[in-house]
Structure 1
Amino acid sequence: MTSSLPGIRVQPAPGNAPSRRSFLRYTGASVALGSLWLASCKKDNEPVARPTITSFTPTSGMAGTTVTVTGTRFTGATAVQLGSVSVSYTVLSDTSLTFVVPNGAPSGLIVVGTPSGPVSTADPFTITTTPVVAPTITSVAPTSALPSATVTLTGTNFTGVTALTVNGIAATPTVVSATTLTFVVPAAAQAGVATIVVTGPGGLATNNTAFTVLPTTVSVGTGDAGVLNYAYALEQLEAAFYTQVRTGTYFTGLASGSAEKLIFDDLYYHEVIHREFFKAAITAAGVPLLKDLTPDFSAINFNDRTSVLSTAKAFEDLGSAAYIGAGQYIQSAAYLFLAGKIASVEARHAAIIRDLVSENTFVGNDVVTLTTAGSSSVATNNGPAGSSLERALAPAEVVAVANTYLAPGSKLDISGIR
């Protein structure tokens, strides 16, 4: 009697009944396959659901390569061999298992032993001897970026990259191809020239092209020049706001020649004039001019009257308090006189916006210190008790609000004037 599996014949010894100890005659199968089959044989005539292997990936690799085998009925697998070498393995599911190519393993078929029998790949896994090469970085684009910006590296051997740092701060690499990867500049990366380190299977790579992490803030400077740039920054912000107001459907939907539309036209022209005045004054003084700032008005709905008016009120109240509060930091009498004049204009702007929000509410005790009949109020809004003075805000208080409307890279640093 002869029992058989594909590629294996079991020949009973003469004069004995068939048994699991029968002499094996192999035709085209490895010793490994036969021994795995013996370990998993069932009783004679019992139907067996055979495992299958449909694919494995990769098809070649060096020692240390993780190989994934796909097929069926892998649950309870009893052994895996690569060629003639047993390997440690992990059954991921009934249809998938993995193993790591051990040192010294030969090229050969992959054999999986299971309770229902062994199964072999049709093609061999090929052992390669090509050494793993460290990655290289040949270019960085852009060459400067703010935190949270995406940067692209071009180079070689990026496949398998596992880690990336910017000035020692971890970032997550996204491998696009063997020659391209991207990453997002981490928020904690320190501003300045940065070293990018990429870690791959073959070692480390650092950038040989200069890359700079840009600061998220911009300094207004020091002294009177710093105060001028501080005022210029606020006028940039207000001018940008009213410029965008004029593009929204709230403004465009106002009747031509209506009082409300004329008010916003007037505010727009005033703020643009203020912005250009400070720009010219700073340039004429021969001091460094603050860069053009990038606003972030994403929280404002320019199509909605309430959103526009509430933001305009916040800006005009802030502007008035900012000029009053900046007075103590100004050394030049001419600049102090200028700040006083603009403060009066900002106060008129604030009053008319408040009147649009709610008629006859052009001022409130949130912006002045009031004296009540028979007694003086306590000191509020940075003014002495009973003074009835308009609110003053220090630069640090103003910037805390203004920076919420400025994009990273344009947020103000006023440490030089406070």
Structure 2
Amino acid sequence: MNEVVLTLFLVVALFAFLGSGVWVALSLLGVGWLGLALFTSAPVGQVLATTVWGASNSWALAALPLFIWMGEILFRSRLSEDMFAGLAPWMSRLPGRLLHVNVIGCGIFAAVSGSSAATAATIGKMSIPELQKRGYDPLMTIGTLAGSGTLGLLIPPSIILIVYGVAIEESIARLFIAGVLPGVLLVSLFMGFIMVWALVNKSKVPPAEPSLPLRDKLRRTLGLMPVVLLIAGVIGSIYAGIASPTDAAAVGVALALLIAWVSGSLTWQSFVDGLMGATRTSCMIAFILAGAAFLTVAMGFTGIPAKLATWIGAFGLSKYELLAALTVFFVVLGCFLDGISVVVLTTAVIMPMVEQAGIDRIWFGVYLVLVVEMSQITPPVGFNLFVLQGLTGKNILYVARAALPFFLLLVLAVILVTAFPGIATYLPDAMMG
């Protein structure tokens, strides 16, 4: 059968499964099964058994549930309250004042959560009432949360970077290091935009609150120190080569439990809730990864990825034209699927084209996460927008309008990382060779 017709058939089958409400993992397994059973002579049952076992039996994947559990523990601790109290006194003199707490707070929580939705929800629950009470512009309050919440996908330990690394068998540690400078770039872009907006719209920024004595500022900041030390310990041990991502994640869970216990927020109920929440999320991701691995092998048997790469190569697209087309493709796909599903669903088909175009795999992982971040706040159907709609009760179009400037800043970040690839590749090359 013609490869184009076969590809269209499988794509239609996938969207039929997804549109009918079938789980993403089962949809991937179903499409892989159809591809093998109808268009190859491979033994479907044996391929399914060996592939699912191989995808699940991965030591690198063990870091995933541990990092998710660490985030769940801290999600149920007093972290968000301590974060606002510790950051607010230092932000009050910057143009935009406490709006910067959203950006820095999301950046810190992203480093212990790895989840975009959890980051936006946790910081939003804490900051929205505080900023509303002080009279900050609601549009900008929601916009800063929508944009900064996406940092959970990029700043290590990023769950999506772990998934991408497992899917393409790339070093998780190198991917984590690659995400650092792009994460700093995004934080800088967001804070710079807030400052410019505040200087142009002075009437929309409340007057500065009375300044606290230095001693009080430092006392409030002490509440942040346990989490900052946790982040430094977990990520620093990976970068220093002392621990693998899995070892560091286990240490992170132990330290997170200790922080929650010392802060008085660790109860038996919160421990069980955190453990069950991490179990549900981890099982969902592992199931999706197993389905994606089976689909990848099935596509290999049909020969679609290689032939599709050759077909696209015949168009003579330059590297930048290919990236522009992929950006549109990922943003559209991200309107319908969560970020992890986008990554595992497309990796098998996309990577042959990427490698043929001579694009660095580590750099492409950072690019992919940035584009998936864009899809999380793509008006009007990005996932983070629905999270914030639930928190604020605002119309989804209002939330989308608030997020639009930050969507454009993410577009700018993608352009900068593409124009200056060293932003993503310098640290991995310098620290790990």
Fold shared by both chains (TM-score > 0.5) = no
> Max radius of gyration: which structure?
1
Q: Which has the higher contact order (CA 8 A, sep 6+)?
A: 2
Task: Point out the structure with the larger strand share.
Answer: 1
Task: Point out the structure with the larger helix share.
Answer: 2
Give the TM bin, normalised by the shorter chain: under 0.3
